[in-house]
Amino acid sequence: MITQIGQGLSGLEQLRAFIASGQRPGIGDSLDFDLVEVGEGFAAFEGTPGVHAYNPMGIVHGGYFATLLDSACGCAVHSRLTAEQAYTSLELKVTFQKAMTRDTGRVRAEGRVRTIGRRVAFAEASLMDAQGRLYGTATSTLLIFER
């Protein structure tokens, strides 16, 4: 996906090229969400929760929250990497503030790098609806390594 698009590009350039390509990773197809905005140390994903993401109780599964938040944290860090670097999540802590259903409408997860070093990065993300209501937050620790 991104590695096929962005050979030799910085992380931010890779993400911008990915958005411009109109592609989605497989998880984006499965859960109906897209990478919509990137900047230096920032990434935003938007999606529309629906019955495809419901748990047996008839509300959106926590994994939907976690996937959007993890994606936002990870891509925020990705935006700060060189062409020779990659990352992987070491830890993700998600806090749920409000339940989602298909009636929630479009949601947006915004991730930001808090600190980044040679080997470890820390990021945080928030998940909100179009009216700015908070549905969940996350903090993430990510390992940075050479490709």
> Which domains are seen in the chain, by residue range?
2-146 (3.10.129.10)
Q: What does the DSSP assignment read for 22-91?
A: T---HHHHHHTEEEEEEETTEEEEEE---GGGB-TTSSB-HHHHHHHHHHHHHHHHHTT--TTEEEEEEE
pLDDT (average), residues 26-55 = 95
Which of 21-30, 73-82, 94-103 has the weakest average pLDDT?
Answer: 21-30
pTM of the model: 0.94
Task: Give percent above pLDDT 90 in the chain.
Answer: 91
How many CA atoms does the CB half-sphere of 81 hold within 13 Å? 27
C-alpha distances out from residue 57 to 60, 77, 78, 105, Å = 9, 34, 35, 19
* Paired strand residues for 91: 141
pLDDT at 6 over 90: no
Per-residue pLDDT averaged across 56-84, rounded?
A: 97
Q: How many residues does the chain have?
A: 147
Q: What is the mean pLDDT of residues 36-59?
A: 96
Paired tokens of 135: 């549905």
